[in-house]
Structure 1
Amino acid sequence: MSNTIVPRLTWAKIAPKAFQAMIGVNGAIESSTLGKVLVDLVFARVSQINGCAHCLDMHVRDLRHQGEDWQRINSLPTWREVNFFSERERAALAWAETLTRLADRHEDRDAEFEALQAHFSELEIVELSIAIAQINAWNRLGVGMRSPVAAKAMP
């Protein structure tokens, strides 16, 4: 068995208009007031949940490039049990998990939404929700099309 992951399709080349549209959404997310660290924490956590190695590697590298330490990054799966994350980050991570795991629970999501309202403006809640939807879309393409992860040193 080979350890090399071979992509199924080079979807960005096959469907360049759709790819460019997704890049456009990323541009809107990057210009939001959410902050790059918060967005990358959310992107990394959602990528962990969805098992997207390509996106997880990318966003962990982005976090390291921004000066995030390994303890916070390694604690993302256990963010509820540690005190390394601000209340704003915790609200965003809870919302990210809620919107990513839609099928896991169909009850009310008011508690998570109310936590968001304490730390985010209406615009930021919408931008965060779009960012979560976007990383879920990237994850599904990454996993479905087997986007490879290059073996290289982590900073």
Structure 2
Amino acid sequence: MTQRINYVQQSPELFKKFYDFSQALQECSIERTTLDLVTLRASQINGCAFCVDMHVKEAKIHGERELRTHHVAIWRESTLFSPRERAALAWTEVLTRIPEHGVSDELYGRVRGQLSEKELSDLTYAIMAINGWNRANVAFQTVPGSSDKVFGLDKANLS
């Protein structure tokens, strides 16, 4: 894979603002473990090799169990996720793949049964952010692992 353009260099002001937005999510009401699962799942759905690579490494650095990262793709069948995590993953999938009919009341009700209004709002912003990053990295074919040192992902010892 060869990167098409370096969007960070081409639009540094916009990158900085979007990066700052994404960094602000680190202080949101959703726990780090769930955010790791959400960013990994959206990246899998969107086929973003750079982001899947990044979020697996981040999850490991944050202490996530390796088997759970493997099970994110099959979360519905897996017994490794809590009801709250399942709700977050379901919300991630519906907002990443927005169906023609929109988000069903049934799904919204299930997710709201696990998350407060504030948490659901924060989660939605996190999903918006990862989908934006996925789109940029897929469009410009950002090479997986190419920013490991910059983001400290080399500490995951996954190469």
- Cross-structure match for 1:140: 135
- Cross-structure match for 1:88: 84
Q: Does 1:51 align with 2:47?
A: yes
Query: Which 10-residue stretch deviates more, 21-30 or 133-142?
Result: 21-30
Deviations 1:72-122 (A, max 9, x none): 1111111011110000000000000000111x4425521221122112121
Q: Equivalent residue of 1:81, what SS?
A: coil
Gaps of 5+ in 2: 147-153
Moved over 4 A (4+): none
Identity %: 36
Q: Which amino acid aligns with 1:13?
A: Q
Q: TM-score, normalised by structure 1?
A: 0.90
Structure 1 Cα separation of the partners of residues 113 and 71 of structure 2: 24
Q: Equivalent residue of 2:76, what SS?
A: helix
Q: Which amino acid aligns with 2:145?
A: A
Number of equivalences: 150
- Cross-structure match for 2:121: 126
Q: TM-score, normalised by structure 2?
A: 0.88
Q: Is contact 1:44–1:55 with CA below 8 Å preserved after alignment?
A: yes
Q: Is contact 1:98–1:109 with CA below 8 Å preserved after alignment?
A: no
Gaps of 5+ in 1: none
Structure 1 position 150, deviation (Å) = 2.8
Q: Does 1:154 align with 2:158?
A: yes
Structure 1 position 57, deviation (Å) = 0.6
- Cross-structure match for 2:25: 29
Deviations 1:39-86 (A, max 9, x none): 110000000000001011111111111221221111111101111000
- Cross-structure match for 1:16: 12
Distance 1:29 1:108, change over 3 A: closer
Q: Is contact 1:43–1:135 with CA below 8 Å preserved after alignment?
A: yes
- Cross-structure match for 1:109: 104
